[in-house]
Chains A and B, each alone.
Chain A
Amino acid sequence: MRGAYLSYAAKRFAQAVVVILLAYVFTFVVVSILPGDPITNVLRDPQNGFSEDQIRQIIAAQGLDRPIPVQLWTSLSNFVTGDLGLSMRSSRPVTTLIAEVLPSTLTLASAAFAIALLLALTIGYGTQFLPKRFGQGLLRGFPSLFLSVPNFVIGLALIHIFGFQLGLFRVIAPDSFWATFFAAIALGVPISARITEVLIANLDKESEQEYAAVARSRGLGPARLFARHLLKPSSLPVVTVIALAIGELLGGSLITETVFGRTGIGSLVQRSVSTQDLPVLQAVVSLAAVVFVLVNLIADLVYPLLDPRVKLIGGQGVRPTTADDSATATSAAVTS
């Protein structure tokens, strides 16, 4: 068993490394098919005042005149050693730029994540213990509703109601507590949709089990039944969905940060898109892939340890309840 787990872990780890490297190559290819020539556009900008000779020298010094495969190889080997290159706009290392804005995004993302979990648990609890005819149906509709509302609309509505009408926070001070809190709600609500969906489905399944009936007949109240018995087995499959949600948090922060005027990874991406700052884009996308792959790797490695029912067949982990990750990722709304 132990040996099986180790070989499973080694295989998953190798797979993760391959995917990260390929994601880097993929991004590189996408970014280098950009129309026009952003590099010489920047250098030719009259404000910079380079002569044609200087431009040629700079391009040669940066290795930008070499064929694409050679450039890719250099860039990939730099990436592996942790060197993400220089920003084309500010000439500062990309790692510094990212490190500067990372804390703000991390704060936002973890707050949003906490809110998403809290929402999922509250709704999950409600669907089990509210009266059937009153409230339950409504709560069961929530994930689908959350999935249908663009997160910028949630953000704008929160700004309008709490910022504008009630004056709870000011948009010009985006890092204040309330502003962060509401930004986290805007980011967290769509994320909670998928988590809630899977949690409800599993709670439904668990509450029909005999042990739940026994616990109920022994007079256990809803809160204790939920916390002591139903939650733990139901939350295992949620681990997979949570790992997938991390990617969404990163993508969603792009919009939330724009709406709330925060500086962070999202606004860095947006600025780099408008200025065509390729190294920054390349770095952020690759790092996002690294984070996503690592989180999923951890989820996959932890899963067999959490759930002894998981059998490792031929080095492949088989999760009992979520047959296909993709099905939980995108068609969570249709699982019923």
Chain B
Amino acid sequence: MSLASLSSASRDRSIGWLSARRVPPTVALSFMIIALVIAWSLAPGLFTSHSPIVGVPAEKLLSPSAAHWFGTDHLGRDLYARVVYGTASSVASSLIAVVIAAVSGGLIGLLAGFLGGWVDIVLARLVDVLLAIPNFLLAVIVVTAIGFDTTNAAIATGVSAVAVFARVMRSEVIKTRQAVFVEAAFLMGGSRWHILLRHVLPNASRSVLPLAVLQFGLSILVIASLAFLGYGDPPPASDWGLLISIGKDYLKWPWLVYAPAFVTIATVLSVNRISRWLRKTD
């Protein structure tokens, strides 16, 4: 009896929180920015008629104008088109990073928290090691080890974030494991794996969502930094970090830095705002 009511109450709440809470205007704006960024990465051709690779040499280094929103670069390429076409790899790679981090970190945390004992001790040391190496340095040596391109940069970024997810997941699992309904499930003869998958995992992963969103924003920054240092795809790719890195050699034409930087900052800021809102409404 009590089991049924508990689980239905939690379901009601999970459906309820989207409609019950009014979305603050800044969060709505953030969602719009993210929607635009996703649209850019899915169908860049719809947003610009310029080519991101072939430039018009006569139109090089033009200031931003109605024809070229972000101006043009040293080869006469439209910078707005470069940013739009670079979105796919900048954003998709951050998604890869978050998925890697959340899945493997989540698995580590789940096993450590649920099994306890020596599994917990061994995994805890592994997590300590991953935490001990500064995040960005860890991403750099992993990407060095597996080779410079954007996908590898994403994998490296993911690896550097595994520890965070593992820790949060572990503490959530331990919290959930002590809940009354888990104890009840045990008493009713539920097998360990059944309880792990049906009761503990769904409940513990709720707090992972805001973290994943936040990590998505951080991953965009880390991948942009790796691209900035030249550890991503080489030109003519146009990852945001790479665009900024190319732009830094042309400081007389500052929009080459500021335009892609503005897009990056707006995206990450929106992601952070959404993450904070998710955390509050949870």
A: which residues have CB within 8 A of B? 15, 18-20, 22-23, 26-27, 30-31, 33-35, 144-145, 147-153, 156-157, 159-160, 164, 247-248, 250-252, 254-255, 258-259, 269-270, 273, 276, 281, 284-285, 288-289, 292-293, 323-327, 329-331, 333-336
Knowing that A27-B141, A153-B265, A251-B134 are A-B contacts, what are 13 other residue pairs whose CB atoms are under 8 Å apart, sorted by A's residue number?
A19-B125, A20-B132, A23-B132, A157-B257, A247-B134, A259-B248, A273-B144, A276-B144, A289-B133, A324-B168, A329-B131, A330-B214, A331-B214
Selected from B132, B146, B171, B225, the residue in CB contact (under 8 A) with A150 is B225
- Complex CA distance for A20 and B161, rounded to whole angstroms: 19
Chain B nearest CB, measured from A277 CB (Å): 10
Q: Do the beta carbons of A148 and B146 come within 8 Å of each other?
A: no
CB within 8 Å for A292 and B244 given contacts A30-B145, A285-B141, A330-B215 = no
In the complex, the answer to whether A326 meets B167 with C-beta atoms within 8 Å is yes
CB-based contact A258/B229 at 8 Å: yes
Chain B interface, >50% SS class:
helix
Residues of chain A contacted by B241 (CB below 8 angstroms): 150, 152
Q: Tell me the B17-32 residues at the A interface (CB within 8 Å).
A: none
Q: Which residues of A contact B265 (CB under 8 A)?
A: 148-150, 153
Sample 22 A-B pairs with CB under 8 A, ordered by A number.
Answer: A22-B126, A26-B133, A35-B146, A144-B272, A144-B273, A150-B224, A153-B264, A159-B251, A247-B134, A251-B136, A255-B228, A273-B231, A276-B144, A292-B132, A327-B167, A329-B164, A330-B161, A333-B214, A334-B210, A334-B211, A334-B272, A334-B276
A324 pairs with B167, CB closer than 8 A? yes
A164 to B253, CA, bound (A): 11
- Chain A residue contacts of B163, Cβ below 8 A: 326
Is A145 a contact partner of B261 (Cβ separation < 8 A)? no
- A2 CA / B12 CA spacing, docked (Å): 51
- Which of B244, B248, B252, B272 is A148 in contact with, Cβ under 8 Å? B272
Is the beta-carbon distance between B141 and A336 smaller than 8 angstroms? no
Q: In the complex, what's the smallest C-beta–C-beta distance from B277 to chain A, in angstroms?
A: 9
Give B residues with C-beta under 8 Å from A: 125-126, 128-138, 140-142, 144-147, 161, 163-164, 167-168, 171, 210-211, 214-215, 217-218, 221, 224-225, 228-229, 231, 241, 244-245, 247-248, 251-252, 254, 257-258, 261, 264-265, 268-269, 272-273, 275-276, 278-280
User: A147, A276, A281, A330 — which one has the most chain B CB atoms within 10 A of its CB?
Assistant: A330
